[in-house]
């Protein structure tokens, strides 16, 4: 079994910064990809950023140039550095991962979510 634990959310003024972290633990043979989603009230959940096992990254257009996803492979941890935050970034941010076990089975996992609130 795999568990994802997020941290780093909070309240910040517009223009400020936060860094989210997500640590994966459990029965991990390999990590295909990890990423961050967010969901604002009344909105669908959307992909914010992802990073593949090879290190390639993708970002939502709305966060390009402001957010950076990175990883620490030794710790099975990813980060989301969020700069120049806007009120529109307010949402619950969820860590997600596609993780392969020793039987080469892919499974999707989600963290519990962490609230990011940006005030004007």
Query: Which pLDDT does position 19 carry in this prediction?
Result: 98
Taking the chain, what is the end-to-end CA distance rounded to the nearest angstrom? Answer: 41
In whole angstroms, give the CA distance from residue 110 to residue 89. 20
Backbone angles phi, psi at 94, to 5 degrees: -115, 130
Backbone angles phi, psi at 88, to 5 degrees: -65, -15
Q: pLDDT tens across 38-57, in order? A: 999 999 999 999 999 899 99
Of the pLDDT bands very low, low, confident and very high (cuts 50, 70, 90), residue 1 is: confident
Rg (CA), the chain: 14
Give CA angle at 116 (110, 120), nearest 5°.
160
Q: Per-residue pLDDT for 31 more than 90? A: yes
Of the pLDDT bands very low, low, confident and very high (cuts 50, 70, 90), residue 26 is: very high
Q: pLDDT tens across 71-109, in order? A: 999 999 999 999 999 999 999 999 999 999 999 999 999
- Secondary structure letter of residue 69 according to DSSP: E
Q: pLDDT tens across 7-17, in order? A: 999 999 999 99
In whole angstroms, give the CA distance from residue 102 to residue 24. 16
* Residue-averaged pLDDT of the chain: 96
Written as six digits, the tokens of 107 are 């499974």
């Amino acid at each position: 079994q795999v568990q994802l634990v997020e941290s780093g959310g909070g309240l910040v003024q517009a223009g400020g910064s936060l860094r989210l972290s997500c640590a994966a633990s459990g029965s991990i043979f390999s990590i295909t990809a990890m990423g961050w989603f967010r969901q604002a009230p009344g909105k669908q959940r959307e992909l914010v950023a992802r990073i593949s096992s090879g290190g390639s990254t993708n970002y939502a257009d709305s966060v390009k140039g402001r957010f950076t996803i990175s990883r620490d492979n030794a710790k099975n941890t990813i980060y989301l550095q969020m700069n120049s935050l806007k009120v529109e970034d307010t949402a619950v941010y969820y860590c997600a991962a596609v993780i392969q076990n020793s039987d080469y089975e892919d499974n999707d996992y989600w963290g519990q979510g962490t609230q990011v609130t940006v005030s004007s």
